[in-house]
Amino acid sequence: MEDQDPPPPDSSTGNGDRDPNVDEEPTSVASQENKLYENIDRFISVSADDQSDSSPLPEIIESVQSFADLFDVMIVEHESGSKKWIQLDENESSCFIESVDRTAKLLRFLSRFHSEQNYADAINRLSGIQQRAMCILEDEFKSIMDDYQTSFDRDRDRDRESKTDEAKMKQQSSSSSNVVPEATEPELPEQSESSPEKDEFLGYSEEMLSNLNKLAMGLIGGGHEMECGELYFFVRRNAIEQNLKIFGLEKLSIDEMQKMQWEPIEKEIRDSIPAVEKLISDEWLCTLKSAASLINTTIGESIFTIFLELENSIKSDATKTPVPGGAIHPLNRYVMNYLKSACEYSHTLEQVFRELKTIDRHRPDSATGSDDDDQDSQAQAENVNNNNHESASNGSPFHSQLAKIMDLLNANLEAKSRLYKDPSLSLIFLMNNGRYILQKTKGTGEMRSLLGDPWVRKQSSDLRSYHTSYKRETWTKLLQCLRHEGLSANGKVMKPVLKERFKSFNAMFDEIHRTQATWVVSDEQLRSELRVSISAIVIPAYRSFMGRFSQVFTAGRQTEKYIKYQPEDIETCIEELFDGSAAQQSKKR
């Protein structure tokens, strides 16, 4: 039996089945592994194609277990240190990467049936093996990445070799000086300058790059793309830092940069650029400049988009809830603080907007609100922009952009002021927010310079107008109670009419004090200006009215009943307005 050949598949055994006790052909270890891999690949593809919700679960073939055993052995060899990646031949390294890829596919397929115990066991084992493989790949990837050689190192090594060769030649020449030369002088060996060594990419040889590429493919195929990228980033960053130290360039952290003034940083950059350009080859310098130009354009477009979004956020802010007490609106704070920070880079933004002026000219209207207030805001903003900012449209594009945002903000605040039922509170709201805008503008030299004095004068004029309207709306009505007309007839004061005048004044002043003590004027100077102007019109009028008509009442109880306030009491109550406190009880003097 040992000398007989096995029957062919089409012999009398009929259906081609082979005798399990007889090998078809002698097989090597490599061929067995290849057959195993083929079985695994066939299992994944066939099972995936045939699997449906109604079909039975595919049986886990024995090859899966055998594959896990084989891959585990490969990993153990690496973990033990008996094999390093750089020692592997082409077939071994490819086999390792293919095993990683094959395991990842197996896990994706088997995970569909993780609820079944036999599948769960296979998943757990393969996952553990794959994780160990990923650790090996990461370590090898980092090890090779760390083994770079800078151009400075290579140049230094070449110089050392050259000096060593020269020293040897001089020594040989000196030792042979006492020897009679032969008829023909021997030729000196060719020096390295006749065939300059080709520079290696990023300090890595072609063999190292090939290994790095394989390892990266393995990491990515095994689901560790992020880890691969982070490893590359950190190692190359360290390489850059090492080169910076070699050339005497100082490395600064982000925190250190943020604490420094821009002017010295800029000067050190416009000074370092020529030195850096000398260190980089023309080919790479062109590539870097092209990349920098692309980044610059992308950043510019992003900045433009940010300002466009700021416009849209102002237009679309149509909240119907008024700010309590007429205080500064959150939108106002956000926009002004944003612009204050942006104007610190006005020179750069001016360049950006000049480059993107054509885009700005052709962009569509992006108003999103359809509310009447939004339409009013937009119409007012456009009207103000057309009438009051001719210099902006004729001047810098960033100036025009800034003016447009300010107009939109003012129009939005104007619409929000109409949410208050009390006209006086509406005017307090406009004064608060207008004053905040003006103070922020004056406090930022760049913004003040960009918007210009005409804009500042217009803003100040609007504030004075709000102030005048507030006094007319609130205190002029109160002063009507103190008018002298209609109190006398035939040279005598009509006591009932006088009593009614004092009662009306007391009731109206009590209501004003009770209400407006809860209103907010956060700017101390504006609050003081309001109180002073109110006192200036109310107290003299009240003092004059009392001086002329207080003697009409009988001294004592009747006087106390109708003359509730002395001029000093009025002044004290006015000093309590606009501090945002709870309503205070009127004091009876």
Report the pLDDT value the prediction gives residue 434, as an integer from 0 to 100. 96
Which whole number is the average pLDDT over 426-443?
94
Name every residue whose Cβ is closer than 8 Å to that of residue 41 and which is 6 or more positions away in sequence: 102
Which amino acid belongs to residue 354?
Answer: R
Of 304, 405, 397, 308, the closest CA to residue 354 belongs to 397
What pLDDT, on a 0 to 100 scale, did the predictor assign at position 162? 66
Give CA–CA dist 559/564, Å, rounded.
8
Pair of tokens at residue 348:
């750069």
Q: What is the pLDDT of residues 372-397, one digit of tens each?
A: 444 444 444 444 444 444 444 446 88
Angular region, 457: left φ>0, alpha ψ -120 to 50, beta rest: alpha
Q: Residue 489: enclosing H or E segment and its boundaries?
A: strand 488-489
- pLDDT of 473 > 50? The answer is yes
Give the mean pLDDT of the chain.
78
Q: Note the pLDDT of residue 157.
A: 62
Q: Would you say residue 103 has pLDDT above 80?
A: yes
pLDDT given for residue 390 in this prediction = 43
Range with the lowest mean pLDDT among 40-54, 203-217, 260-274, 480-494? Answer: 40-54
Mean pLDDT calculated for residue range 273-296: 82
From the list 51, 137, 149, the residue with the least C-alpha distance to 98 is 137
Phi/psi region, residue 248 (left: phi>0; alpha: psi -120 to 50; beta: rest), is left
- Answer whether residue 190 shows pLDDT above 50: no
User: Given this model, what pLDDT does residue 494 score?
Assistant: 85
What pLDDT, on the 0 to 100 scale, is given for residue 154? 54
For the ranges 67-71, 332-336, 445-449, 560-564, the lowest mean pLDDT is seen at 560-564
The predicted structure's pLDDT at residue 498 = 87
pLDDT for 496-549, tens place per residue?
Answer: 888 898 999 999 999 999 999 999 998 999 999 999 999 999 999 999 988 888
Confidence at 101, pLDDT banded by 50, 70, 90: confident
Amino acid (1-letter code) at residue 521: V
What's the pLDDT at 414? 95
pLDDT of 110: 82
Q: Report how far Cα 549 is from the mean position of its chain's Cα atoms.
A: 70
Cα angle at 339 between 336 and 345, to 5 degrees? 155
pLDDT tens digits for 130-184? 999 999 999 888 888 888 765 555 555 656 666 666 666 766 666 555 544 444 4
Rounded Cα distance, 477 and 482, in Å: 10
In CATH, what number does 482-588 get? 1.20.1280.170
Alpha helices in 89-248 (DSSP H): 90-110, 117-146, 151-175, 206-221, 225-246
Q: Which of 113-117, 299-303, 348-352, 468-472 has the highest mean pLDDT?
A: 468-472
Q: Please report where in the chains the tokens 């939004």 appear, as a residue.
A: 374
pLDDT in the model for residue 54? 54
Please classify residue 335 by burial: count the beta carbons closer than 10 Å to its beta carbon, then call 0-12 exposed, 13-18 middle and 19+ buried: buried
Q: Which residues contact 335 (CB under 8 A, 6 or more apart)?
A: 310, 314, 405, 409
Q: What pLDDT is attached to residue 161? A: 66
Domain locations in the chain as residue ranges:
36-44+56-156+204-247, 251-279, 282-361+396-450, 482-588
Residue percentage of the chain with pLDDT more than 70: 74
Q: Are 574 and 531 in contact (CB under 8 A)?
A: yes
Phi-psi region of 325 (alpha: psi -120 to 50; beta: other; left: phi over 0): left
For the chain, the C-alpha Rg in angstroms (whole number) is 44
In the structure encoding, which two tokens stand for residue 233, read together? 């980033």
Which run of H or of E encompasses 21? Answer: none
Q: Write phi, then psi, for 26 (nearest 5 degrees).
A: -65, 135
Distance, first Cα to last Cα, the chain: 133
Q: How confident is the model at residue 409 (pLDDT cuts 50, 70, 90)?
A: very high
Q: How far apart are CA 380 and CA 418, in angstroms?
A: 14
Q: What tokens were used for 189?
A: 């060996």
Token duo for residue 6: 């096995």
CATH architecture of the domain with residue range 282-361+396-450 = Orthogonal Bundle (1.10)
pLDDT higher at 534 or 78? 534
Residue 118 pLDDT exceeds 60: yes
- Per mean pLDDT, which of 165-174, 255-264, 435-444, 485-494 is the most reliable? 435-444
pLDDT digits (tens, 9 = 90+) for 302-316: 998 999 999 999 999
Q: In this structure, are residues 320 and 419 in contact, taking their beta carbons and an 8 Å threshold? A: yes
- What tokens appear for 572 in the block? 């004290």
pLDDT tier for residue 347 given thresholds of 50, 70 and 90: confident
When mean pLDDT is compared across 16-25, 169-178, 280-289, 456-465, the lowest value belongs to 16-25
Contact predicate 71/133, CB 8 Å: yes
Interatomic CA distance for residues 121 and 550, integer angstroms: 103
**Residue 423, token pair as written in the block:** 């006209």
Contact partners, residue 397, CB within 8 Å, separation at least 6: 350, 353, 354, 356, 357, 360
Would you place residue 370 in the very low, low, confident or very high pLDDT band (cuts 50, 70, 90)? very low
pLDDT at 196: 42
Look at residue 249 and tell me whether its pLDDT is greater than 80: no
Q: What string of H, E and C letters represents the secondary structure of 503-534? A: HHHHHHHHHHHHHHCCCECCCHHHHHHHHHHH
Q: Which residue type sits at 393?
A: S
As a whole number, mean pLDDT of residues 465-478 equals 92
Contact (CB, 8 A) for 372 and 320: no
Cα–Cα distance measured from residue 547 to residue 216, given in angstroms and rounded to the nearest whole number: 96
Residue 95 has pLDDT above 80, yes or no: yes
**Computed from CA positions of residues 484, 488, 489, 494, in that sequence, does the dihedral angle turn out positive or negative?**
positive
What percent of the chain clears pLDDT 90, i.e. is strictly above it? 27
User: pLDDT at position 31, please?
Assistant: 75
Q: What is the pLDDT of residue 61?
A: 66
What is the pLDDT, as a whole number, of residue 52? 55
Q: Are 95 and 41 in contact (CB under 8 A)?
A: no
Contact 392, 288 (CB under 8 A): no
pLDDT score, position 19: 43
Higher pLDDT, 582 or 310: 310
Q: Of 193-207, 419-433, 436-450, which has the strongest mean pLDDT?
A: 419-433
pLDDT the model gives residue 40: 79
- Assess whether pLDDT exceeds 50 at residue 334: yes
Average of pLDDT values for 214-243?
87
Backbone dihedral angles phi then psi of residue 83, each to the nearest 5 degrees: -135, 130
Average pLDDT value for residue range 319-345: 92
